[in-house]
Structure 1
Amino acid sequence: MKYYIIAGEASGDMHAANLMKQLKQRDSDAFFRVWGGDKMQAETNEMVRHFKDSSFMGIFNVLWNIRTIKKNFTLCENDIMAFKPDVLILIDNSGFNLRIAKYVKLSKLHTRIYYYILPQAWAWKQKRVHTIHQWCHRIFAILPFEKEFYKSYGYEVDYVGHPILDAMEQRKPSLVNFKELKKEFNLSEKPVIALLPGSRKQEIKTKLPAMLKVINHFPDYQFVIAGSETLDLSFYKNYLDTDVPIIFNRTYDILNNATAALVTSGTATLETALFRVPQVVCYKPGYVTYKLLSRIVKIKYICMVNLILDRMAVQELIEGDLNEKRMVKELNLILKGEKRAQMLKDYNELEVKMGGPGASARTAELMWEDVSRKKTVKPQS
C-alpha cells in the first residue's frame, strides 16, 4: 500500500511515526510519503516537506505567511495527485488538512482518507464535525469525551485512546535518573523546575520571557528549559538574560527528574501529568487574539488535563493572569503542601480515564482492516 501522511507539529510527528511503525507490522509492502518532522523522516521512504518550513501558529502569523501557505497547498495537492496514494492519513493541523481532505475526496483518486488526532472542534468551530465527516472516510479519536461529542451530531468515530501513552511507554527503558542528567548537563544538586515553553517560535516568544521572571523567587531550585529539536540555541538566547540550562530533545528526561513545571498549554500538559509532575499551565496568545478567541471558544478550560477530568485540577494562567506575581504564587502552592498532594491524586484519575498504551496499534489495525476490505475497488489509473 502507498500511504501519504501529513502532520504539522512535533507531537503529531511523534504519533505519526509510531503509527507508521505499527502499519509496517501489518503491511509488508507499506510505502510512505510524508509531510512531517524528524521522527517521521526516520520511518519514511520519501519526505516532501518538514513541518518547520510549513507550520504557522496564530491568526496574525498565518496572515503574514499567507502566500507561503497557499504555495504549500498547491504543492501538496499536486504531489498527492502524482503519488496516487491508497491511503491519506491526516494528523491534527486542521487548517491545512481539511482542505487537503476535500481536494482528495473530490478528485478521481480511489484514496481512503483517515483523520487521526482530530481538530478541536469541541472547543471552537463545532460545526467542523460535519466537514470532517464529509471529507473523511473514517475518524479516529484520542480523547475520551470526543466520541460522545461526535455522537451528539449523529456521527460515529473510533475511540482508540491517547498515543502519548505509547510514546511514554517506549521511552521508559531509556529514561535517565537525576544523577545521570546532572552529570551529562552539568546541573547542580538543587531540585529541578522544568520550563516547557512550547515547540514553535511564536509560543516561545510569548511565554518563555514570562516564565523566566520567576527564577529569582526560587533560589533553592534550578530551572531547566526543555528545548525544541526544531529550533537552534541562538533562537532561545534572544530571550535569556540569565544562565539557564537548555536541554534539547530530552523533555521526558527533564520531566522524569522535575519537582514542578511551568507548561505551555497543549499535549505537554498531559505528558507532564503522566510523569506525575505538578504544573502551572501558561497561555498567552496576545491580547487581540485572546479577545477574538474568547468570543468563539466554547470550552471551560484550555488545559487537556482539566478537559479530560472536567474540573480545574491544574491552574491555568491565561493572557493577563500570566504575570510574575501569579506564577510565583501558583508555583509555591504546588512545590509543597495540600495543592500538590491533590494534583497528584488527580493525575491518577486522569491516567485511568485515558486508558492504557496501545493507541498506535489499535489505530493501525483498524486502518489496515478497513483499507484491506476496500482493495476490491477498481485500480487507479
Structure 2
Amino acid sequence: MKYYIIAGEASGDLHGANLMKKLYEEDPNAEIHFWGGDLMQNVGGTLVKHYRDLAFMGFLEVILNLKTILNNIKFCKKDIEEFNPDCIIFIDYPGFNMRIATWAKERKIPTHYYISPQIWAWKENRIKAIKRDVDFMYVILPFEKDFYEGKHNFPVTFVGHPLIDAIEDRKDISIEAFRKEHNLSEKPIVALLPGSRKQEIAKMLSIMLSVVSDFPEYQFVIAGAPSQDFEFYKPFLNKKNIKFISNKTYDLLSVSHAALVTSGTATLETALFKVPEVVCYKGSWVSYQIAKRIITLKYISLVNLIMDKEVVKELIQDELNTKNLKLELNKIIEGKEREQMIENYQLLETKLGGSGASAKTAHLIVSSLKK
C-alpha cells in the first residue's frame, strides 16, 4: 500500500522515522512518500521536502513567510495527487496539516493523525475541522483522550508516547567513551538544548551561554540540531568551557548532569533521561504578546503539563535572564530540589503509558486500510 506522511519539524521527523520502521514491518511492500528530515530519510521511502524549509517560529514569522507557506501547501496537494496514496498520515504540524486534511477529505483519501494538534492549549475551535476531516486520531498524552472524548465527543486512541520507544531503541554509551570520542574533560556536563530553528537557537544560546563563567567546575556542551550546519554555531563557541556536539542529543543527555532546555519536545526528552533541567523560552515581542492573550495554560513545558504541577522551573520571556538562569541552575546541580525533580520524573514516565506507541499506531493504520 502507499502512504503519504507529513512531518514539519524535528520532533515530527523523529516520530515519523519510528512510525515508518513499524509500517514497513506491518506492510513489507509499503511505498512511502514523506515530508520530514534526515531520520525519516534514513529509514527509506522518498523524501519530498525537508522540514528545514518549512519551520517558521511564532505568529509574526508565519505572517512574514506566508507566501512560502501557501506555495508549499499548493505543491503538497499536487504531489499527493501524483502519488495517489491509500492514506495520508499527519504528524503534529497543525497549521499546515489541517489544510491538507480538509483538501484530502474532499477527495475521500483516508486521513490518519498521529500526535494530535495541541488544541487543548490554543485554537480549541479546530475541533470542528478535526471532527470533519480526520478519520483516525492517535494521541500520545494521557489527558488528551479525556479532552477529545469527554469534552468533545470525538473518539481517539491513546497509544502512549513515542519518545519512550525512541529512547529505548538507542544504543547505550558509557560516559568514558563519550568523553573520549568528543574530547571532553572530566568535569560534569551541563547540556544546552537551544532548539532547532535558527532564530530560536540564536536567541536561546546568547542567554544560556551568559552563565557559563559562573560555573567553572562544569563543562557546557551545546547540542547541535541536525537541521543546522556547524558554521551557524561557530560564533557561539568563542568562550572557554564550551563544547559543541551535533546530532547526538540522546547520547549527550544520557551522560549529562543537568540541562538548560528550550521549551518544546526536548523538555520531555530531558526528563525521560532523568536529567534535571531549567526550561527556557523567549520569543519575539509581538509573538509573545499574541501568545499570552490566546494561550491559557498554566505551564508551557510538557513535563509540567502532564504532571499538572511545577516539576521543572520555566523561565519565560523577561524572566529568562542571566540572574534567574544562574539561580535556577544552581538549585538543580545538587541538593533537595534536584532529588525531588528526579523522583517526579519517575512518576512522569509511568503516566506516559510505557513503550510501543509506534508499533500500535502502525498496526492500527495498516489494519484500517486492509478493512
What range is the shorter-chain TM-score in? over 0.9
Q: Secondary structure at the match of 1:214?
A: helix
Q: How does 1:142-291 map to 2 (within 5 A)?
A: 142-151=140-149, 152-171=151-170, 174-243=171-240, 244-291=242-289
2:69 maps to what in 1? 69
Distance 2:174 2:196 in 1: 24
2:323 maps to what in 1? 325
- Are the aligned partners of 1:115 and 1:139 in contact in 2 as well (CA < 8 Å)? yes
The one-letter amino acid paired with 2:235 is N
- The C-alpha deviation readout for 1:190-245, integer Å capped at 9, x for no partner, is 00000000111122022111000010110110000000111011111234441421
The one-letter amino acid paired with 1:225 is I
- Are the aligned partners of 1:33 and 1:44 in contact in 2 as well (CA < 8 Å)? no
CA shift for structure 1 position 118: 1.1
Distance 1:64 1:342 in 2: 43
Distance 1:175 1:141 in 2: 28
2:342 maps to what in 1? 344
CA shift for structure 1 position 46: 1.6
| Higher mean C-alpha deviation, range 177-186 or range 323-332 | 177-186
Question: What fraction of aligned residue pairs are identical, expressed as a percent?
Answer: 51
Q: Secondary structure at the match of 1:245?
A: strand
The one-letter amino acid paired with 2:33 is R
- Are the aligned partners of 2:12 and 2:92 in contact in 1 as well (CA < 8 Å)? yes
Distance 2:158 2:36 in 1: 24
- Are the aligned partners of 1:269 and 1:281 in contact in 2 as well (CA < 8 Å)? yes
CA shift for structure 1 position 20: 0.9
The one-letter amino acid paired with 1:296 is I
Q: Tell me, yes or no, if structure 1 residue 88 matches structure 2 residue 88.
A: yes
The one-letter amino acid paired with 1:76 is C
Out of 295, 306, 330, which is 2:293 matched to? Answer: 295
Distance 2:56 2:289 in 1: 20
The alignment covers a number of residue pairs equal to 369
- The C-alpha deviation readout for 1:86-110, integer Å capped at 9, x for no partner, is 0100001111100011111112xx4
- Are the aligned partners of 1:166 and 1:359 in contact in 2 as well (CA < 8 Å)? yes
- The C-alpha deviation readout for 1:133-172, integer Å capped at 9, x for no partner, is 211111010000000111211111100000000000100x
Q: Secondary structure at the match of 2:257?
A: strand
Uncovered stretches (5+) of structure 2, i.e. residues with no partner: none
Q: Secondary structure at the match of 1:262?
A: strand
Distance 2:82 2:131 in 1: 25
Uncovered stretches (5+) of structure 1, i.e. residues with no partner: 374-381
2:12 maps to what in 1? 12
- TM-score of the superposed pair, with normalisation by structure 2: 0.97
2:48 maps to what in 1? 48
The one-letter amino acid paired with 1:65 is N
Distance 1:142 1:203 in 2: 25
CA shift for structure 1 position 331: 0.4
The one-letter amino acid paired with 1:28 is P
Q: Secondary structure at the match of 2:152?
A: coil
Distance 1:133 1:222 in 2: 49
Distance 1:49 1:370 in 2: 27
- TM-score of the superposed pair, with normalisation by structure 1: 0.95
The one-letter amino acid paired with 2:159 is V
- Are the aligned partners of 1:226 and 1:254 in contact in 2 as well (CA < 8 Å)? yes
1:379 maps to what in 2? none
CA shift for structure 1 position 304: 0.3
CA shift for structure 1 position 285: 1.2
The one-letter amino acid paired with 1:222 is Q
- The C-alpha deviation readout for 1:21-76, integer Å capped at 9, x for no partner, is 11111112210011110111122332111111122121222122222111111100
Q: Secondary structure at the match of 1:258?
A: coil
- Are the aligned partners of 2:104 and 2:110 in contact in 1 as well (CA < 8 Å)? no
Distance 1:314 1:20 in 2: 32
- Are the aligned partners of 2:187 and 2:217 in contact in 1 as well (CA < 8 Å)? yes
Distance 2:250 2:21 in 1: 21
The one-letter amino acid paired with 1:79 is D
Distance 2:43 2:276 in 1: 34
The one-letter amino acid paired with 1:27 is D
CA shift for structure 1 position 369: 1.5
